Structure 1
């Protein structure tokens, strides 16, 4: 990859349609997804399972499976169109431009090799000094106590929180321009989750790395991320500054998603879930894909495909934006702090 320091957008995804060819027929995973991420900023992609966020993230490093085909749109990563990269450039993209922090950190490590040996291999491949002192320093950089002892352990001998710190160290040792974090704290308890998120953002800020964070943790998104993209049925249905969107969501799906989050519910109140499930699309959605689950839907919503509406850096895909009541605000702590 020949990255340009003047590239304004680290990620620019424009009107992408992606289908999976399955035994039961063609499944549309992305139905015209559009989102961009300025270099050095942070974007959270949120939505229910099946909304398309993991598929969207996989395009950044060309990790979509062989049965996937892009029918329309472009994916530009660090100024280059990912779909047109040669095999050599894809390897360079994965090695030097985009780092990955997985959902299952222990599963991402080689169970047959000690942590120290795996770090040595990673440092060597990155062209870095791979001495024991360098490996110790790498673990210290992610605030792991007694790194000498940890170097001797196998992956199954470390906790989930420690494994995720190791995964962050591995991802950041190359100083990638973009870091994709796929639900990196999903399996961690609350205290460890906050520590890992703080560490990830601190390391990224120090390196000037852009973060694309796939998450269900809306309060943390509001505290840490610059922007948010809310996905539903393969489209970004609302996007804008993270705190603004979550404090005053516009799209009915964003409202329902935020309303189903425990952080918005006072003690003793009943948590309201979203009825139904995301649709399985076989082609483009003719109308609003959320209309069957939306309490504000009218007949026109089912037959009119919504286009982005909004201003001042915010947009939403809803034909009834001007008719909707004011949403209840999200209770969240200050940016970067505890709730």
Structure 2
């Protein structure tokens, strides 16, 4: 982990500790708004890794259990994401709500997350990317992790000609992952992912095999859809940053994803998660197109709590990450309080 990231992690952890230890929500209850949407990715048993750049995307089933209990302890009412707009719009309903969402359709969502949700009777929404399900699109962040873990060096062109990247030391690995992330997210995403895939194959790593290992296929999604607590939303065709594509592709990515999800689970989705979800990846154009295409809810990864603004802009709703770097029940309560987002 680079120095900048270590400082950021220390600051976040310190802030969460401060809110939790002082129970600041008792003094500022209004900061929690009408509740919160939580974002997850992997839910799986803890792994021991010497190098884990994607650790923030993975929580344990035990922590998910604690997060649900933290929400219930805080008085939040679990509801399905698709039901939130109507609930929040009802002036007679003063309850605070919690919804759990999981991006990308990882197999561990069915194996490890679903049993936890069932135990508590809590619904959950999984956002599906067709390219992952059909094994036509790689998970570039997983490809990068495997490549950097297994190869001491790689030959790669970041735009100024082919160079040799040293990845033997922890610092070298961190620098390589950060360069790859920046490279993917600041240019032609299709071409740059293809370049990373080619570099991985040159080292004997098959990116689509990683996708196949980690993501549910159509049959598994169909089986999981039999769970009455399971809901499914759209997450584009290729997991591209929508703010960087033209209007025609934007509509194709959204509508095509909805068609695919309907074919997998037998019900057309009314909810959508924007890939990446941060401001550089999604903006006003995308919010308006999603609304025009008839979606009930669109969720970002821009942190915040629910409130009147969620009703006014239902295709631009904030979510809060259940981050694998901060797996403590008291941190979940701090996030539910909404105070960290008021202080940002």
> Structure 1 length as normaliser, TM-score?
0.26
> Which has the larger share of strand?
1
> Which has the larger share of helix?
2
> Structure 2 length as normaliser, TM-score?
0.26
